Amino acid sequence: MTNIKIILASGSPRRKELLAQAGYDFDVCPSLSEEDLEVMAPSEYVMLLAKMKADEVCNRLIAEDVGRRVKKLPERFVVLGADTVVSLNGRILGKPYDYDDAYNTLNSLSDQTHQVYTGVCLIYVEGRAKTSSSFFEKTDVTFYPVSHNEIIQYLATNEPFDKAGSYGIQGKGGLFVKRIEGDYNNVVGLPLARVYHELEELVSEE
Ligand SMILES: Cc1cn([C@H]2C[C@H](O)[C@@H](COP(=O)(O)OP(=O)(O)OP(=O)(O)O)O2)c(=O)[nH]c1=O
């Protein structure tokens, strides 16, 4: 039996008991639960989600290519993962769960300033080497007062349901926006100019 140290990425007492039963040397480091995620700072949260998305795609593509005689992946490429949330008074508002959630979210954003955070993770793959960079951008968005009828009309467009904070600044949701401070593209889901600069730095680092 190997004597290598195992880090058990799980909070399950059953898994712990089974590893102990076999006599393995291990430490427990449970992965973050949904409850932990909800109390994270929005900046940390979006960077973690962006990294999870990029890691998953990167690992899957590389694993799929391993079995191929003719490789589909180029010698060098970058995987970009991103995640966007709205934060109102420190509370994270993602995509709405349902109609009522979208209504309540828009109602709470009315006549208020909230923050839109987008986290980005870039993974640069060159041969077998991987280097990555993670960052976030924050944009402050102030809404005009939004009435009950305006929210009902807006929900009928179906625009809110796949969007963080239940609105799209690039669509009819733009009519609610009084002012923004920061990158507009960041609100739409990708801080393009920051991505450009980080990408330039990442791929020229070797
Ligand atoms: C606030 C706001 C968000 N959004 C969008 C950007 C994101 O696509 C979405 C938040 O969901 P995300 O989970 O960040 O992204 P996604 O599910 O659309 O795509 P994937 O996970 O595959 O990368 O909300 C707008 O389009 N306009 C806006 O004004």
Per-residue pLDDT tens over the stretch 55-84: 999 999 999 988 888 888 899 999 999 999
Q: Which residue has the tokens 């962006």?
A: 50
Query: What does the CA dihedral 137, 86, 122, 11 come to, rounded to 10 degrees?
Result: 130
Cα dihedral: 43, 46, 50, 55 (round 10): 80
Q: Which residue has the higher pLDDT, 23 or 35?
A: 23
Name the pTM for this structure. Answer: 0.90
| Residues 6 or more apart whose Cβ sits within 8 Å of residue 119 | 43, 45, 46, 47, 48, 49, 50, 51, 82, 83, 84, 134, 135, 136
Q: Are residues 9 and 47 in the same domain?
A: no
How many domains would you assign to the chain? 2
In testing the pocket of ligand 1, which one of 84, 120, 157, 161 has its CB within 8 Å of the most ligand atoms? 84
CB atoms within 10 A of CB 54: 22
Is 83 assigned a catalytic role?
yes
Both 4 and 40 in one domain: the answer is no
Nearest alpha carbon, ligand 1 atom 6? 189
pLDDT category at 51 given cuts 50, 70, 90 is very high
Among all chains, which residue has been given the structure tokens 């987008």? 118
Supply the pLDDT for residue 191.
95
> What's the complex ipTM?
0.97
Give the domain range for residue 20.
1-31
Q: Is the pLDDT of residue 206 over 60?
A: no
Average pLDDT over all residues of the chain: 93
Mark whether 85 and 18 lie in a shared domain.
no
Given 55, 65, 83, 162, the catalytic residue: 83
For residues 9-14, give the mean pLDDT: 88
Which residues line the pocket of ligand 1, CB cutoff 6 A? 53, 82-84, 86, 95, 116, 163-165, 167-170, 173, 187-189
Do 146 and 72 share a structural domain? yes
The more confidently predicted of residues 12 and 198 is 198
Shared domain check, 78 and 21: no
Instruction: Tokens for 102, please give them.
Output: 């979208």
| Dihedral angle sign, alpha carbons of residues 199, 136, 96, 53 | positive
Residue 142 has pLDDT above 60, yes or no: yes
How far apart are alpha carbons 106 and 157 in whole angstroms? Answer: 14
What is the mean predicted confidence (pLDDT) over 37-53? 91
Kindly report the backbone phi and psi dihedral angles of residue 149, in degrees, each rounded to the nearest multiple of 5, phi listed first: -65, -35
pLDDT score at 205: 65
Give the confidence band of 12 by pLDDT, cuts at 50, 70, 90.
Answer: confident
